[in-house]
Amino acid sequence: MGKTTVAVNLAIALAGQGYKAGLLDADVYGPNVPLMMGVREEPYAIDDRIQPIEKYGVKLMSMGFLSPGDKPLIWRGPMLHSVIQQFLRHVDWGRLDYLVIDLPPGTGDVQLSLIQTVPMSGAIVVTTPSDVSLEDARKAVTMFRQVRVELLGLVENMSYLTCPHCSERIDVFSSGGGRKTAEAMGVHLLAELPLDPAVRAGGDSGEPVALRDGSAFVELARRVVERVEESAGQAPTIEIGD
């Protein structure tokens, strides 16, 4: 829950730290990145290469550009595989340090198509402290391990709420579940992100909270960079589309 919010703010935080960042919205079931990024333009092609939209220093491509508004996309496996190939091979991403990919929930066709198409530096699993969300997170961790994708870590979103009046911590969706799951499965806990009304407001307005220096996503980006460098030896610079 909240994985798109995490993906958007992570990409912006990486760009804010000087990295060349891209964001691929591959969530066919709920492509919300254009709304969260405040993007209303449509991409165009130059010499048969799709030009990504750039906003807040992040190069952006989204399933939402194919189906704007409330119209759902009802696609089967081969169609999903084809569009993932298009987004990775025929978009003029140029030279990137990090390409953040927002995947749909679950362990289905889009995830498998991505893994088969391009080498991945690692996966981040986003959960909440609730038992239902943590069960899905464990399945995702197991899937990535089965297909031999490095687990960079787990992010517990909506971890707690700080009362605006007394500053007391309120555990809305239980507490400690993300940390216990990370420890039990032997993965890093990258962040415990608070339930912050500013995050919701930023996503709705197209001005994500990571644009602020004090955002928790800035620290998350730093930890993601550390984990990538630990697993790969150095931050990967990638050029996609050749």
Is the model's pLDDT at 236 over the cut of 60? Answer: no
d(CA 216, CA 191): 8
Per residue in 199-210, pLDDT (tens digit) is 889 989 999 999
Tell whether pTM > 0.85: yes
Query: Is the domain 3-240 a CATH 3.40.50.300 member?
Result: yes
**104 vs 213 pLDDT, higher one:** 104
Q: What is the pLDDT of residues 139-198, one digit of tens each?
A: 999 988 988 889 999 999 988 777 777 877 777 777 788 899 999 999 999 999 988 888
Helices (H), the chain: 3-16, 33-37, 77-89, 109-117, 131-146, 177-185, 197-205, 216-232
How far is 206 from 16, CA to CA, in rounded Å?
16
83 by Cβ neighbours in 10 Å (0-12 / 13-18 / 19+) ranks as middle
